[in-house]
Structure 1
């Protein structure tokens, strides 16, 4: 079943990835609630005007796709969009529950691959695992990963969890997501239905000066 989706991304470096994701959705793109290449430019609008516009789009979605790009932390919107996606919001007689969230790691278009964020390590027990450079991620992403209250280890020896089911916010590569977007969207949606199984961080602790950093 198709889900209503919203894409959170840093426009200046990830708009092409946004377009690739929308294209990969195929006929299900009609359920996409976020911005497109034909959306009006809001960068010169007041912060509250932009927030109101974004809130309306997120409220009407059930899965938020976050493009993980090299300089995403320079955006003043992405972590706020994640926070809002995790809220339960009431408008009139309708209450939206927390969105499922999936992170799509952008490919390095100059050198290829995902080495700017990912590398493989071999643990002392001989198991190989994926290592993520958390310095490139917002705290609200980090804290909503490997956060299953009762983790099920795919390897009991090194206590590694499933990359998809062990975190509320899974991170998948652009190539993986584009090859089967519905699988990852559905995985995120299904986890949102059992959100109480996870230790969820919903709030951004640091306050920002709101200025345009798209």
Structure 2
């Protein structure tokens, strides 16, 4: 089932991947509520007007896709878009719920090693490490935050499942593009189970 989605990304380096995601969504792209070529030009607008425009795009969505690119933290807006996606806001008689969020890691110079490294533990498990310095605090604060009794995918090395162990899961772009609806649904399912996660909603 298609979900209303918003894509947060750094325009100068992730526009091509954003376009590819929309293409892969196929017919479901009609449910995408974010910036398009037909969106109003907000160049020169005040911060409040820009934020209100973004709020209008995000308010009716249930899932936010964040493109994780090398210089993401230089964006003036993406961390705010994530914060707004996580909070609940009321407009007249309608209240927006916390969005599910999935991060799509952009491939850069042919690899993901600008963000990801891996090592093998003594018990045979392979652990994936994310360079948290490349991510916003609000993303790091919603990683490895599952709080259920069975939160570890491996009790020996106390590692978390890559998809369900974090409210904001990070997925390589190649995996995401093969089956975007799988990852969108996973984010949507977690949106309906926020009580299982210790959410950080402030930047």
What TM-score comes out, normalization by structure 1 length? 0.91
1:93-129: CA deviation from partner (whole Å, max 9, x where unpaired): 1111000000000011xx2011110111122433211
Q: Residue 192 of structure 2 corresponds to which residue in structure 1? A: 193
Query: Which consecutive residues of structure 1, in runs of 5 or more, have no partner in the other structure?
Result: 205-214
Alignment size in residue pairs = 202
**1:172 to partner: Cα distance:** 0.2
Q: Residue 142 of structure 2 corresponds to which residue in structure 1? A: 144
Q: Residue 37 of structure 1 corresponds to which residue in structure 2? A: 37
Q: Is the 8 A contact 1:89 1:95 kept in 2?
A: yes
**1:177 to partner: Cα distance:** 0.7
Please report the RMSD computed on the Cα atoms of aligned residues, expressed in angstroms: 1.1
SS at match of 1:25: helix
Q: Residue 93 of structure 1 corresponds to which residue in structure 2? A: 93
SS at match of 1:65: strand
Q: Residue 129 of structure 2 corresponds to which residue in structure 1? A: 131
**1:84 to partner: Cα distance:** 0.3
What TM-score comes out, normalization by structure 2 length? 0.96
The equivalences for 1:11-90 within 5 A come to 11-90=11-90
**1:43 to partner: Cα distance:** 3.0
2: CA distance, partners of 1:115 / 1:22? 25
1:103-159: CA deviation from partner (whole Å, max 9, x where unpaired): 000011xx2011110111122433211111111000100010110112432211101
1: CA distance, partners of 2:43 / 2:18? 18
1: CA distance, partners of 2:44 / 2:23? 28
Over 4 Å off, 4+ runs: none
Q: Is the 8 A contact 1:4 1:33 kept in 2?
A: yes
2: CA distance, partners of 1:127 / 1:69? 27
2: CA distance, partners of 1:43 / 1:133? 33
